[in-house]
Structure 1
Amino acid sequence: MGMSQITFAVAGSLAPALSAFAHAFTARTGHEVQVHRGPAGLLAEAIRNGMPVDVFVSASPDGPALLHREGLFGPARTIARNRMVLVVRPGLDTSIGDPLAFLEDPRWRIGMSTPGADPGGDYAATFLDRLAATDPGRWRGLRDRCTSLYGASLPNRDAAPRSPALDALHGNRADLLIAYGTTAAQIAGALPGTRILPLPLELAPLTRICACARQGSSAPARRFLDDLQGAEAGGLLRSHGFLPP
């Protein structure tokens, strides 16, 4: 069988781990994998509008479910999970260990990703809505203090990978970020003194990371999808802080 090219669209939060997996797949099979990264909501919309993609990994099930309903992609498979946390910039009050206490304090600027474009923003918005419903008086005005700082556009494919969440905190555009645990770990590695406070699971359940392949895709693309559920991909994802499915 001749060698094929597989076009792979992957959520930005998963790109470091799964780009490494794609390179390893090419080395093992000879099938070239072309990687497109970006906010999963925007990737799903681009695929709907004709972007040629064989395999898609999203940070939530929503985009894959939409593509499946429209008959473009097969059913999604959950390959990993993640956790939502509060990232506290270096220098903020280290005596506070409760993420809700930080969120309640009106002094702090709260950043997040962009709902509708990026699942990270959708998860953050859902958490904020659930939190507000627990005590509307206490949390009045919380959403007004939250700003979408990244996740609103697809990156240039030729640009060097970067963390827009890290850029937001490093650039002093926020004091707190509602973000994925894996993103928070990346930030903490680059900004000593950053703290990571897990959000309550009853308000911010573990996220679902889903993979799917285009209907009628090639055998190599289907093999790539199958391998995304295997031990090698799972080990890479765990090494980057993702949780098992």
Structure 2
Amino acid sequence: MSNAVHVLSAGSLRYAFPAIIGAFGQETGIAVSLMLGPAGLLREKIEAGARFDLFASANMAHPQRLAAGGLTEDAICFARNRLCVLARADLGLTSENFLAVLSDPATRIGTSTPGDDPGGDYAFEVFDRIEARYSGRGEAIKSRARQLVGGRNSPPTPPGKGAGYLITDGEVDLMMSYYSNARLLKQDPSFSVVEIPSEFQPVVEYGMAIRKDADVETRHLRNFLLSARGQKILSEAGFSPAG
């Protein structure tokens, strides 16, 4: 696929991009190659010279940094998400007892890796918001949180294991998760998907940027992601509109 549009995308878009690529190809006849990974590590690859045409990040900071460095055109917000908690069902976690359960030293908390993966940054922002309102509690939660996925040294998901395996394998009681991922386990009786109280909820914006001097095919893909059809596909995958 040497003539394809090369996309480096945040891993949390893994359930959205296949449908986007299919619909885009049907509409335009343009092929797309896709590499998924933690957005912070993908940004590092781009800074080190990796080939790409479009970068889709789970935050705005990484594409904005590339734009500031002259590697891309300006970053554009193309979707929104939200953070939630994926917990083992018998933990009894609710939005109402969220703070009490996370503050319990016996509760084992898992997150993605800050810096490497925006999911970890957002999780730690939740803890910082707790700290701002309840001095000492947010820092205590943060100190107990285990950074288990999304990092440069994180082990890959074992073959045959689905999302939530760290909970079902007994590693943690809950994982801080994007809603777009956690929603897929809503019908599984082993799990509960719990909303984070609004006062602790970070703003989760997804940004994209295309390389400097991008070709017309890449510009078509960027425009497709912002189009009504592209936004509908993202919505069906659990994201919120960019606007």
TM-based fold match above 0.5: yes
RMSD of aligned residue pairs (Cα, Å): 2.5
Aligned with residue 240 of structure 1, among 228, 237, 240: 237
Cα offset, 1:205, TM superposition = 2.8
Any idea what SS the aligned residue of 1:66 has?
helix
Distance 1:137 1:71, change over 3 A: closer
1:1-245 to 2 correspondences below 5 Å:
4-93=3-92, 97-139=96-138, 141-153=140-152, 165-189=163-187, 191-245=188-242
Letter in 1 for 2:13: L
Any idea what SS the aligned residue of 1:60 has?
coil
Any idea what SS the aligned residue of 1:88 has?
strand
Letter in 1 for 2:204: T
Letter in 1 for 2:180: T
Contact 2:125/2:202 (8 A) holds in 1:
no
Distance 1:47 1:123, change over 3 A: same
Distance 1:17 1:160, change over 3 A: farther
Distance 1:213 1:139, change over 3 A: closer
Any idea what SS the aligned residue of 1:153 has?
coil
Unaligned 5+ residue runs, structure 1? none
Any idea what SS the aligned residue of 1:222 has?
helix
Letter in 1 for 2:199: E
Cα offset, 1:94, TM superposition = 6.1
Any idea what SS the aligned residue of 1:178 has?
strand
Distance 1:173 1:74 in 2: 42
Distance 1:29 1:112, change over 3 A: same
Distance 1:174 1:232 in 2: 38
Letter in 1 for 2:132: A
Distance 1:92 1:119 in 2: 26
Contact 1:86/1:99 (8 A) holds in 2:
no
Contact 1:4/1:220 (8 A) holds in 2:
no
Cα offset, 1:239, TM superposition = 0.7
Q: Deviations over 1:201-220 (max 9, x none)?
A: 33223300111100101110
Any idea what SS the aligned residue of 1:26 has?
helix
Distance 2:216 2:137 in 1: 55
Q: Deviations over 1:220-245 (max 9, x none)?
A: 01111111101121111111111112
Any idea what SS the aligned residue of 1:9 has?
strand
**Percent identity, aligned pairs only?**
33
Distance 1:40 1:160, change over 3 A: farther
Any idea what SS the aligned residue of 1:67 has?
helix
Cα offset, 1:154, TM superposition = 9.2
TM-score (norm. length: structure 2): 0.89
Distance 1:211 1:161 in 2: 31
Any idea what SS the aligned residue of 1:16 has?
coil
Letter in 1 for 2:235: R
Distance 1:66 1:94, change over 3 A: closer
Tell me the number of residue pairs that the alignment of Structure 1 and Structure 2 aligns: 239
Runs of at least 4 residues off by over 3 Å: 94-97, 137-140, 159-163
Any idea what SS the aligned residue of 2:129 has?
helix
Letter in 1 for 2:185: I
Distance 1:51 1:154 in 2: 20
Distance 1:235 1:24 in 2: 11
